[in-house]
Structure 1
Amino acid sequence: MVSSPPSERALVAALDPYERPIEVGVGRRPDVARALADRGREVVAFDVEVSEDARDAAAATRTSSAGSLRVVAADVTALATAGGDRLIRDALGLDASNEDERDASNASTGVDAVYARNLPAELQRPTVALAERLDAACLFTTLGFEEPVVDVRRRSTESGTVVYVAR
């Protein structure tokens, strides 16, 4: 991550305390997820359509990282809904055969953070709702020209990047 943009470095640094984060909307830029996997984190990154770049990054972490990166096709708006527990467990690759383990919470999933980079306003509410369902922290950066539409605390970095913390 030496040559990565300041916003990526800021997000990776903010996510450093979390062991099992989920990235919302990985798109064609899996650099943050890859950097976290390289730091030993177990990352699940999803998007409605998983790109080849994300698949390649996940494959590369299997041989070169202390952690892991798994990419999954999933929609944050569906995962954030009341009926999304099964979708969450499927996206995370968890077995829901035990009736007591069907809830999608931090205790049952192990997810401790939900994050996104360049999160557009229309996906901020479902992203925060997903973090709430998982009882996880929620951090994100915006597209830059948009203000958050959810309640946040701002964390400014030396580079001028703002990481928003919603939970």
Structure 2
Amino acid sequence: MMGATISYPPVSDDRRAAVRRKLAAFGRLCEVGIGRRHGVAAALASDGRAVAATDVIERETPPGVAFVRDDIVAAADRAAAGRTAPRDDPGEPGAPGDHYRVDCVYALNAPPELHRPLLRVADAVDAACCFTTLGGDPPAVDATPLALSGGDTLYVARDPDGVLVG
């Protein structure tokens, strides 16, 4: 007797293209937990956006995407430890890190345990915050779901300038 085999369909280019089109409204972005799939970050960078990426382990990123090894949970703790800084004051204590000083902090396939830290960091730098989940996972923070062409859902947890939802 064999156990159940679970296979997950690959993420389609159409789904990620819809995410990229939505994020293209921002000039400076940071993808949290970039992993090995960096198509959205690469496309945004090739479209002339300033893109930074983070992950807990060292990753190679495509040309035009700056990489910083960082943990979003630790960054949220850094932000909470002191007075948070606005985007134009990089020297303030409590800032989560210069790589997060962007217009939008986003994550793709973010597990629920990263939703709150992601939002705390975005809040600390006054950035928009959005993410996709692992599929069946609901957002762990209050977020507006945006159904995108191709079938992906982008959850908008913070949109101070009304760029994503407005």
TM-score (norm 1): 0.75
After superposition, give the CA deviation of every residue in 1:22-62 in whole Å (9 maximum; x if it has no partner): 1100011111111110010111100000223x2xx1xxx2x
Q: 1:125 — aligned with what? A: 116
* C-alpha displacement of 1:5: 2.1
1:71 aligns to 2:67 (yes or no): yes
Q: Provide the secondary structure at the position in 1 that maps to 2:151.
A: coil
Letter in 2 for 1:112: D
Correspondence 1:2-151 to 2 at 5 A: 5-52=13-60, 54=61, 57=62, 61=63, 68-81=64-77, 82-83=80-81, 101-102=91-92, 104=95, 110-151=101-142
> Could you say which structure has the higher helix fraction?
1
The answer as to whether partners of 2:119 and 2:157 remain within 8 angstroms in 1 is: yes
Gaps of 5+ in 1: 62-67, 89-94
Determine the structure 1 residue equivalent to 2:156. Answer: 165
Distance change in 2, residues 1:84/1:17 (3 Å):
farther
Corresponding residue number in structure 1 for 2:7: none
Q: Distance in 2 between matches of 1:69 and 1:118?
A: 19
Counterpart secondary structure, 1:9: helix
Structure number with larger C-alpha Rg: 2
Query: d(CA) in 2 for partners of 1:162 and 1:44?
Result: 22
* CA shift in 2, pair 1:27/1:85, >3 Å: farther
Q: Secondary structure at the match of 1:166?
A: strand
**Offset, 1:161:** 1.3
Amino acid in the other structure paired with 2:42: R
Shift of 1:160: 1.9
Q: 1:154 aligns with which of 145, 150, 159?
A: 145
Amino acid at match of 1:83: A
Offset of 1:85 from its aligned partner? 8.1
Tell me, in whole angstroms, the C-alpha distance in 1 between the residues paired with 2:16 and 2:68.
Answer: 21
Q: Shift of the alpha carbon at 1:158?
A: 2.5
Q: What amino acid is the match of 2:65?
A: L
CA contact (8 A) 1:22 1:43 kept: yes
Q: Normalization by structure 2: what TM-score? A: 0.75
Give 1:127's aligned amino acid.
Answer: L
1:48·1:75 contact (CA, 8 Å) conserved in 2? yes
